Amino acid sequence: MSFPSIRSKLTPTAQTAGKQAPVDVFKITDIPAAMSQLGWTEGARLMRKWFDNSAYEMPIAVKVGDASPSNLDAQKLLTDLPFDWLFSASSRVRGPVESLVSDLQDVREFNELIGRTKSPLTQLSNGLVVFMTRLKRIGLLDENACALQNSYEDFSKLSAMQHEETSQFNLIRLGSSLWEKATDNLDDVYGALGSFAIKVAATKFRTLSNDYGFPAIKIEEIGLYVRDTYDFLDDDQLLGYWNRKGVIRPWPHDYLSVPSHIDRNGDRYFKVTNGAFTQYRKQKNQGGDFLVFSTVKRYPVSISIHLNRTDFVEFKYRTHGG
């Protein structure tokens, strides 16, 4: 997410014949109130937090997940976004979530998200490689011995931030394609998150050293959660056309010229880009990026994957070159 400086005089209002109309000053700090007026409670809350934070630009290592979020202070975190809010606030989320859960409901060996693939070149899906890496880190997988330990793990009480470092294995992205950016509804999820990822973690699972002659992974519950960065990269990125009443999306031809304002139904809406927020931060020494985590939504599943020696060799090769 992103928005510029505290008082950004954008354009004058339309003038009537023979009169000088007053200059309409629209500030990006007016946007949270406009969001509240639209009923965008979470969008307004997150943006107010950004404005209230002291100046902070999130390092790329934190943004992409190479640095642990557990080392961040409270100002740089928001960890209580309700997952169920996604369903009530937007019509575009439930379908992809239900499709994801359906794909993981009953897995027997083969699955593109967490199982074997049918590719002749690789036996293990990327998600399975990630999960095996998690098992190795917590001491349940020995790649040299091609073995798993007998264990039952219940991570159902862990937070989303804790799942990032324990049992998360895959994700789906929403709102990131050009088509989605052009057609998604302007709603509270758009205002709070824009494009974002829903991550998948194993919350209850078992590892077996021998199940019908093979080491096996049995997952009985998964947890879904949002992990997003609230920041304003790419100064030219358009965040919509805003005024104190709300936001509109440009007409298709407006994308070609990206005008400074759009008049629609007697109201003037002003272009807002990420650059407005980075300018605000420089001018006011306020405006702090932060990581967003939702609560965890858990779903029962039945996933069973058996591993053979070739799988362990492939895992070792793909994780550190053999």
Name residue, tokens 């919350």.
Answer: 203
Nearest to 124 by CA among 139, 109, 137: 109
- DSSP β-bridge partners for residue 151: 207
Dihedral sign, Cα of residue 39, residue 41, residue 43, residue 48: positive
Name residue, tokens 């009985």.
Answer: 220
Per-residue pLDDT tens over the stretch 14-72: 444 445 555 567 899 999 999 999 999 999 999 999 999 999 999 999 988 888 888 89
Per-residue pLDDT tens over the stretch 237-281: 888 899 999 998 876 666 567 788 999 889 999 999 999 999 999
| Kind of pairing between the strands at 168-174 and 141-142 | unpaired
Please give the backbone phi and psi of residue 190, each rounded to the nearest 5 degrees, phi first: -60, -45
State the average pLDDT over residues 206-219.
98
Helices 41-52, 31-38: inter-axial angle, 10-degree rounding: 160
Query: What does the alpha-carbon distance between residue 180 and residue 63 come to, in Å, rounded to a whole number?
Result: 22
Written as six digits, the tokens of 140 are 């349940």
Kindly report the pTM of this predicted structure. Answer: 0.88
Mean pLDDT of the chain: 89
State the average pLDDT over residues 187-198.
93
Is a pLDDT exceeding 90 seen at residue 157?
yes
3 state SS of 19: coil
CA distances from 154 to 22, 119, 202, 204, 206 (A): 63, 32, 9, 5, 9
Q: Are 196 and 175 in contact (CB under 8 A)?
A: yes
Count of CA atoms in the C-beta half-sphere (13 A) of 53: 25
Q: What is the residue type of 187?
A: D
